Structure 1
Amino acid sequence: MYRLKYDCNAESYAQQAVNTCRKTELPGHALGGHKQNLFIFNNPRASQQQAVLFVGFPKKTSVVIEDEIFKAIATWWSQLARFGMRSNMMFHQSEFKRGARNVLNWAKMAWWSTQRVGCAARNCGSYYAVSCMYSPGGAFVNEHVYRVGAVCSDCHGGQCDGQALCRW
């Protein structure tokens, strides 16, 4: 699993997505090769600045992040703990048939080859739309989210950082 880098191109696709104020993810052909996570929360009183993207890059913004943004990221990441997955981390077609109890958003974030992320938020009147785009993304059927094994064992040339993530 790679340490994610913030990507302005991915952010531009996320911004395009939230600008539509859709409550559903964009079709795959509109994502520029990215995979999308979308979170809708009802808090129209939050400012645009408070609804700024947050993906764990403190140098990207010094704004105090609204609880709802943390909730979006935490909700996506918590899918694995809440809904579970096979212990071999193989992503099966059945994930798409689990309704709301799936790990699709988590898989896009945790996918072994995901290296870049960009996010955006927009006030859509009665709600905020928050979207993050991942590149190359994940959730590919019959592939592993990541291979189960020793930490950093698949990092190229032993390029492992202090948080057990591969450098690239």
Structure 2
Amino acid sequence: MFPYPRDCNPRCPMRCSAAMSTHYTQMVWATTNRVGCAVQTCYNMVVWGALWRQTTYLVCNYSPNGNWIGEPPYRVGIPCSACPPSYGGSCSKNQCFPAITSNYMYWFK
């Protein structure tokens, strides 16, 4: 149901504008670096006007948010050439990566 990366062309951002594409584009959004998800099994849940007897409900939050209409999720070019200054120029596996100055992971507060 979800598109594969080949279905979302960064040179044509409107190609990824379908409702089911938004989760993919948010996950690959260049500036998003935190994701938190939760899963819950629900019984007798109304979904789109129909009663679902048992379903699995998945919710994810992303930060910083992205997924702006008409904007590509990332830029084509030299990896890490446009990293935010706050990242200190760090690059890991061809992706911008915030410099870590200690073993404490501040985003897991």
Normalised TM-score (structure 1):
0.43
More helix by share: 1
Share of identical aligned residues, percent?
31
1:153 to 70, 73, 81: 81
1:113 to 27, 31, 41: 31
Aligned length in residues: 85
* Equivalences for residues 75-154 of structure 1 within 5 A: 76=2, 78-81=3-6, 84-88=7-11, 90-92=12-14, 95-96=16-17, 98=18, 103-125=21-43, 126-154=54-82
| Alignment partners' CA distance in 2, 1:150 and 1:143 | 19
Determine which structure has greater relative contact order: mean sequence separation of CA pairs < 8 Å that are 6+ residues apart, divided by chain length: 1
* Larger gyration radius, structure 1 or structure 2: 2
* Equivalences for residues 16-95 of structure 1 within 5 A: 76=2, 78-81=3-6, 84-88=7-11, 90-92=12-14, 95=16
* Unmatched 5+ stretches in structure 2: 44-53, 99-109
Aligned-partner residue type, residue 58 of structure 2: V
* Unmatched 5+ stretches in structure 1: 1-74
- Show the counterpart of 2:101: none
Normalised TM-score (structure 2):
0.61
1:81-139 residue CA offsets vs partner (Å, 9 max, x unmatched): 3xx13352x423x644x46xx52211010111112111111111312111111112322
| Alignment partners' CA distance in 2, 1:121 and 1:151 | 34
